[in-house]
Amino acid sequence: MDDYELVIGLEAHAQLRTRSKMYCACPADYQDAAPNTRVCPVCLGLPGSLPVINREAIKSIVKIGLALHCSIAERSKFDRKNYPYPDLMKGYQISQYDLPVCADGRLDVEVDGAARRVGIERVHMEEDVAKLSHLSDPASGEGYSLIDVNRSGVPLVEMVTRPDIRSAEEARQCLMAYQTILRYLGVSTANMDEGSFRCDANVSIRPKGSEAFGTKVEVKNMNSFRSVFRAIEHEAERQAETLRSGGRVVQETRGWLEDKGVTVSLRSKEEANDYRYFPEPDLPPLSIAPAWVAEIAELLPELPEERKRRFIAEHGLPAYDASLLTASPGLADYYEAAVAAARAQGGTERTAKAAANWTITELGRLANEAHIEIHESPVTPERLAELLGLLESGELGTAQAKRAVEAMFQTDKSARDVMTDLGLQQITDSGELAGAAAQAVADNPQAVADYLAGKETAAKFLVGQVMKATRGKANPSVAAELVAERLNAMKAQE
């Protein structure tokens, strides 16, 4: 790839979390429903039935457009996209062709510390299709397909970027940033493994320094952010290999095979569908009043980019921590609640940073192992705040706090209860520690001799022995002071 530059444009589909479907009154929530129970003549595509526009879906797509800094069309319309496939009940999909609801936006991401701006070509409204299951009869081995129409007509928003993306990592970051925005807006669950968020990547390469774009290949069937990354990397490498060996990249659609780690041809340009788009005659053109758009803009929540900037300014966080903590609205809310609780409990300036560290590192690890979100853990923001207070007051040392947070995660108890139950209180009382210090010095004549011979690090070893004897509960600076006192007394006696 060294001689070539990657050029990528993404097309992402997100299902909207509206109550009803896009063009009928059937519930849009189909995940737990028995097959073909959320259907009506409209979404079954029965002749004579008439679609109606879902106002809530339009409100959602306007929110998305605003969040992506798009212009919102005052006049929009729906078009029929025709193609014959069994998942399409009507033989066409009601989509949008030349007048999408949103156009000309942008998405800002950070890739390896560098700010990147990716243009958004359009965001348009369409509908999902039925779900096919391809099976085979165990007795005869004959193949057959089942069709579940519940998903048919669920509102789907397609977002198309300009070919501004220059690496697989940048593509992954763009998708994650878009997913985060959808979740902040609350318009979609945007879940890749549930299928409520899907992505196709258009990939081409060109010689470094060249202006002209190369021939693009559309890659489909990626089921995770990781597979988007891998598929793009692999496809770029395949194209480079083709060019290096004197071949030509052909315009086609390829599918990503996760297990094999390769893309394979699905159909060439010649076999591409001609969708014969034409205006949907059963729906009126869509007028979107600027006043309504302004009203929606007023209701937008604080978005990830703003929230990240505020976290940096208000809580003094490094950009990287702020990015991690604002990656989902639930996590950002958790963090802010923990900071607020810590302040209410008398926390100092440092608390906000400590809260970030403990949330990202310890809680992040525990939640990851338990396959839950941090904000779903038994360690509530209030409990984390109490833990931070115990750390700040010196009642808990860092190592004990780590044990405490693990126990809190497992037992659903408060920081103080866990500290008492497990006897984790830090020993700061010099009277209590003096014995351990004396013992360490008495038990380790070699270390003492080394120290007296000028090897200062031997003192550290002795402090370590005190920590060990108290099972890590000694306050390390008090322990160090006591050891130093003893050693200095011995030095004076020499």
- Residue 43 phi, psi (nearest 5): -80, -10
Kindly indicate which of the ranges 39-47, 124-132, 356-364, 429-437 contains the residues binding Zn ion, using the contact rule CB under 5 A: 39-47
- Specify the residue, 199 or 482, whose C-beta has the smaller distance to ligand ADP: 199
User: At its nearest, how many Å lie between Zn ion and the CB of residue 133?
Assistant: 20
Q: Is residue 33 exposed (0-12), middle (13-18) or buried (19+ Cβ within 10 Å)?
A: middle
Sole window of 25-33, 128-136, 325-333, 461-469 interacting with Zn ion (rule: CB under 5 A): 25-33
* Footprint (CB under 6 A) of ligand ADP, residues 161-200: 161-163
Binding at 213: pick from Zn ion, ligand ADP, none (beta carbon under 5-8 Å per type): ligand ADP
Nearer to Zn ion by C-beta: 53 or 300? 53
Nearest approach in angstroms of CB 27 to Zn ion is: 9
Q: Which amino acid is at 178?
A: Y
Binding residue (CB under 6 A) for ligand ADP from 85, 144, 213, 320? 213
364's contact among Zn ion, ligand ADP, none, with CB below 5 to 8 A by partner kind, is none
Residue/partner pairs of 477-484 with CB below 8 Å, 24 or more apart: 478/427, 478/428, 478/430, 478/433, 479/433, 479/436, 479/437, 481/430, 482/430, 482/433, 482/434, 482/437, 483/437, 483/440, 483/441, 483/459, 484/459
From residue 374, how far is each of 16, 140, 239, 382, 410 by CA, in Å? 25, 49, 41, 14, 13
d(CA 328, CA 12): 19
Binding status of residue 236 toward ligand ADP by CB under 6 A: no
83 touching ligand ADP, by CB under 6 A: no
**Residue 117 CB, nearest approach to ligand ADP (Å):** 14
Burial of 398 (0-12, 13-18, 19+ CB in 10 A): exposed
Burial (Cβ within 10 Å: 0-12, 13-18, ≥19) of residue 327? middle
User: Does the protein bind ligand ADP through residue 359 (CB under 6 A)?
Assistant: no
* Residue 121 vs 386, nearer CB to ligand ADP: 121
43 binds, among Zn ion, ligand ADP, none (CB under 5 to 8 A by kind): Zn ion
140, amino acid identity: S
Spatial separation of the C-alpha atoms in residues 467 and 476, rounded to whole Å: 7
| Residue choice 72, 107, 123, 160 for contact with ligand ADP (CB under 6 A) | 160
* Residue 108 beta carbon to ligand ADP: minimum distance, rounded to whole angstroms: 17
Beta carbons of 64 and 186 less than 8 angstroms apart? no
Under rule CB under 6 A, residue 26 binds ligand ADP? no
Residue 68's binding partner among ligand ADP, Zn ion, none (Cβ under 5 to 8 angstroms by kind) is none
Task: Kindly state whether residue 96 participates in binding ligand ADP, applying the rule CB under 6 A.
Answer: no
Residues near ligand ADP, by CB under 6 A:
7-11, 160-163, 202-204, 213-214, 216
